[in-house]
Amino acid sequence: MVMRLIAATLFILAVGGCADMPPTPEQQLSQARELEARYYAALSAPSFAIFADKIDLHEIYAPDKDPCAAIREDRIPTAEESVSLRQWAEMRASYKARILAVITTEPSGSSQTKSQVARLDALEDNGLRTQTVLISNLADGRLTYCQFATLDKALTQDIVRQAAALRRSMREERQMLYNITHRDIGSSSVLW
C-alpha cells in the first residue's frame, strides 16, 4: 500500500513538474522542424506553382546573388496571383508566429537573458509585420516582383543579422550563468 502511494505521488510530481518545465533545445528544434516541414509542404500546393519563375516563397536569399535573377518577367501580379499571394501571406504569418512561439519560449535564467528573448521576439514580430506589408503591397500591385524580392531580401538579411547577434549574446549570458553556478564550491575562486 505504501509503495503504491509513493509511486502515485512520484508520478503526480513528475507529471506536474514536467508541465511547468520549458522545452529543451532539442524539443524546440524538433517542433520547429516539424512546423517547417508542414509549411514547405503547403508551399507545394498548385495555387503557389504560379510563382516558380517569379519569387522564392521560401525566402532563401543567397547573400551574393541578385534576388531578381530568376524573375523572367518583372511585373505586378495578375488578379489570380494576387489571390495566391494573400493566401501565402496568411499561411506565412501563421507559420512564423508558431515558429516564434517555439523558439522564444520563456527561458529560465537571468533577467538579462529574458530581456534578450523579449528583444528577439519583438525583432521577429516587427520583421513579420513588415514582410507581411511587403507581400500585401506586391499583391495590391504597388510593387513588382523584383522590387518585392529586393526589399524582402534586404529585410530578411537584416533580421537574420540582428537575431544572430541577440542569440549569440543569449548564449554568452547562459554560458556565464552556467560558469557561475557550476564553480567548484571548495575553490578559492568562488566570489562570496
DSSP 24-69: PHHHHHHHHHHHHHHHHHHTTSGGGGGGTTT--TT----TTS-TTT
Name the nearest CA neighbour of 116 among 183, 176, 156: 176
For 118-170, write each residue's pLDDT tens digit. Answer: 888 888 889 999 999 999 999 999 999 999 999 999 999 999 999 888 888 87
For 81-106, write each residue's pLDDT tens digit. Answer: 999 999 999 999 999 889 888 877 75
CA–CA distance, 71 with 149 (Å, rounded to integer): 9
Q: Is residue 186 part of a domain?
A: no
The grid cell for 29 is: 528544434
Q: Is residue 95 part of a domain?
A: yes
- Whole-model pTM? 0.74
Q: Is residue 187 part of a domain?
A: no
- Whether residue 124 contacts residue 162, with contact meaning beta carbons closer than 8 Å, is answered with no
Tally the domains of the chain.
Answer: 1
CA–CA distance, 111 with 13 (Å, rounded to integer): 27
Q: Which domain holds residue 157?
A: 22-181
- Please give the single-letter amino acid code of residue 114: K
